[in-house]
Amino acid sequence: MQLLAGVLLSLFIAILAFGLFFALGNAMLDHTVYGESFAEKMSDRQFQQLQRYVEREAVTTDRLSRLNAWCSRGKGVYLTIYRDGTLIYESPVVRDQTFDPDDFDPMEENAEREYALTFADGAETQAFLYYFASDAFYFWMIGVSGLLAFAVFSLCFVSLVHRKLRYIQKLKKELDILAGGDLDYPVTVQGQDELSELAAGIDEMRRSIVKHQRAEDEIRSANSQLVTAMSHDLRTPLTSLLAFLEILDRDKVKDEEQRRHLIHQSLTQTMSIKSMADKLFEYFLVYTSEWEQPELETRDADELFAQFWQEYAFALESRGFIVETDFGELDGNVAVNLELLRRAFDNLYANLVKYAEPSAIIRIAYHREAEEALLTIANVVSSQRESKESTNIGLNTCRRIMRMLGGSFETNEIAGVFTADLRLPFSDNNCKETIK
């Protein structure tokens, strides 16, 4: 489209140039071949040629028709001859035309074009010779103006095409760089035509590939760390469990009370392994579904947050924790997947139960911040945290779930106080019941 606009612009400029050259050519012709001074000079020159012609051909007043040959040579002249105030000759304008001497009067002729013409028989006559420049100059001027206008059009068009060719060459170099593996090199988007749309598409594809590669690298790194942490955390309870089972298998217990104690410890270690396995399964379940868009449903944010966190606050108080709540007005809807959101909230609750200091206050608050619902949980970290296994699977799961729901999850720990901020964007009130 832009190329067509460039062609039309070049054509418009060429038309303007033609008009300019045509005006300049007309002005030049008016001051030269079509000007009064030039016509006067040419008339004087033509009269001198006429006088020589009369002398050479011995033209007399009785043989004036011989002047027709001289007048018809394409010299662009008009000749009238008077003798004693009476017209005796007029150069033929139309072949075989006749003239009426009474229709002509020397007083009506242009005195600046008056000449004294002497014939071969010695007769003195009064001649009026008018020079008219040929129309060939005018046509030549039109042709030259057209050629110059075409040159202007060609220059503008070639300039446009050359600029596009340079842009294409630049895109080729950038694509060669991308093909070499440097996907961080940006593609230049220039203009608003088909080429720029193609370049924008290529750059968008580049950014998408880079984003996916970074996500894969991040996931690969996280999974590697997870496997390392899980192998370390599983080794301790497994070792204890194997030791307890070996004692029971060899029947080396002292009494029934020791047997029950070993069985209880075995069950405790088994539950610990099961808990880590469940969290690992949950993590991989979220990971494998991250590439799929979850089904979302629109819910009232106040009702949803109150339903979950009033229950969690009550459950924490039932366990002996001190809970302080500050539930503000959210006044909006959120688009969520209830199953995923419950997993995220359950992980936050489990994290509080496991790592919060029971004697310190747990603060749970949510309120509206701009176009987001902000949930903030703050707790003092238990002094027994170091003795409890932690793989951070729960927090990583929360982070992934919030990313899938279009929100964010951030954690921070300062001076023994752990803070988690969970954000969910508000959705349109007119949103459909289910969004896919």
Residue 206 CA neighbour count, 13 Å, CB half? 21
Give one DSSP letter per residue of 97-140, joined into a string: ----GGG--GGGS-GGGEEEEE-TT--EEEEEEEE---THHHHH
pLDDT at 232 over 70: no
**Which residue has tokens 């035309």?**
97
pLDDT of 271 reads: 79
Q: Do 385 and 415 fall into the same domain?
A: yes
Query: Could you please report the per-residue DSSP string of 292-327?
Result: SPPPEEEEEHHHHHHHHHHHHHHHHHHTT-EEEEEE
Same domain as 111, residue 96: yes
Retrieve residue 399's tokens: 């982070």
- Whether 17 and 51 share a structural domain: no
Q: 158 and 106 in one domain?
A: no
Per DSSP (E only), the strands in 220-371 are 296-300, 322-327, 333-336, 361-369
Q: Is residue 215 part of a domain?
A: no
Strands 372-380 and 417-427: antiparallel
The pLDDT > 70 percentage for the chain reads: 84
What are the distances in angstroms from CA 175 to CA 170, 179, 258, 417?
9, 6, 73, 50
Mean pLDDT of 246-262: 81
Structure tokens belonging to residue 278: 């469940």
Q: Give the contacts of 322 (CB within 8 A, at least 6 positions apart).
A: 358, 359, 360, 361, 362
Last residue of one domain, picked from the residues 111, 146, 167: 167
- Assess whether 78 and 13 both reside in one domain: no
Residue 13 and residue 95 in one domain: no
Residues 148 and 93 in one domain: no
- pLDDT of 362-388, one tens digit each? 999 999 998 999 999 999 998 876 655
Question: Per mean pLDDT, which of 205-214, 274-283, 284-293, 314-323 is the most reliable?
Answer: 314-323
Tokens of residue 14, six digits: 């060429």
Tell me: do 304 and 163 sit in the same domain.
Answer: no
Neighbours of 380 (CB within 10 A): 18
Gap between the Cα atoms of 366 and 375, Å rounded: 4
Angle made by CA atoms 278, 360, 377, in degrees to the nearest 5: 55
Domain check: are 68 and 127 in the same one? Answer: yes
Domain membership of residue 127 (yes or no) is yes
Paired tokens of 20: 């300019």
d(CA 74, CA 136): 12
**Nearest-5° Cα angle at 373, 369 to 374:** 75
What share of the chain in percent tops pLDDT 90?
22
Residue type, 240: S
C-alpha to C-alpha distance for 241 and 136, rounded to whole angstroms: 115
Instruction: Taking the CA atoms of 47, 50, 52 and 58 in sequence, report the sign of the dihedral they define.
Output: negative
**Residues 74 and 142 both lie in one domain:** no
In a domain, 253, yes or no: no
pLDDT surpassing 50 at residue 431: no
Determine the average pLDDT of the residues in 28-54.
80
Q: How many domains does the chain have?
A: 3
CA 113, 116, 118, 122 torsion-angle sign: positive
Mean pLDDT of all residues belonging to the chain: 82
pLDDT score, position 239: 81
User: Are 349 and 337 a contacting pair, CB within 8 Å?
Assistant: no
Answer whether residue 336 is part of any domain: yes
Q: Could you give the 3-state DSSP secondary structure of residue 87?
A: strand
For residues 372 and 407, the answer to whether their CB atoms sit within 8 Å is yes
User: What are 115-160's pLDDT values in tens digits?
Assistant: 999 998 889 999 998 877 656 677 788 888 889 988 988 888 888 7
CB-based contact 253:262 (threshold 8 Å): yes
- Nearest C-alpha neighbor of 382 from the set 427, 312, 319: 319
Beta bridge partners of residue 177, listed in sequence order: none
Give the single-character DSSP code of 333: E
pLDDT at 27: 81
Per-residue pLDDT reduced to its tens digit, 297-346: 999 999 999 999 999 999 999 999 999 999 999 999 999 989 889 888 98
Residue 188 has pLDDT above 80, yes or no: yes
The last residue of one of the domains, among 132, 148, 178, is 132
**Are 157 and 306 within one domain?**
no
* Burial category of 373 from C-beta neighbours within 10 Å (exposed 0-12, middle 13-18, buried 19 and up): buried
Tokens for 419, please give them: 């803070």
Q: 230: pLDDT confidence band, cut at 50, 70 and 90? A: low
Residue 432's pLDDT band, with cuts at 50, 70 and 90, is very low
Lowest mean pLDDT of 87-101, 251-265, 349-363, name the range. Answer: 87-101
Supply the pLDDT for residue 308.
92
Specify the pLDDT at position 69: 84
Same domain, 371 and 436: yes
- Which pair of tokens denotes residue 351? 């994290």
**What average pLDDT does this structure show over 410-428?**
91
In a domain, residue 278? The reply is no
Look at residue 63 and tell me whether its pLDDT is greater than 60: yes
Confidence class for position 435, pLDDT limits 50, 70, 90 = very low
Range(s) of the domain holding residue 66: 36-132
**Reported confidence tier of residue 430, pLDDT bands at 50, 70, 90:** very low
* pLDDT recorded at residue 375: 94
Query: What does the pLDDT read at residue 3?
Result: 64
H/E run at residue 196: helix 194-249
pLDDT digits (tens, 9 = 90+) for 65-116: 888 888 877 567 888 999 888 888 888 764 555 556 667 888 888 888 889 9
Find the distance separating the first CA and the last CA of the chain, reported in whole Å.
37
CATH number at residue 423: 3.30.565.10
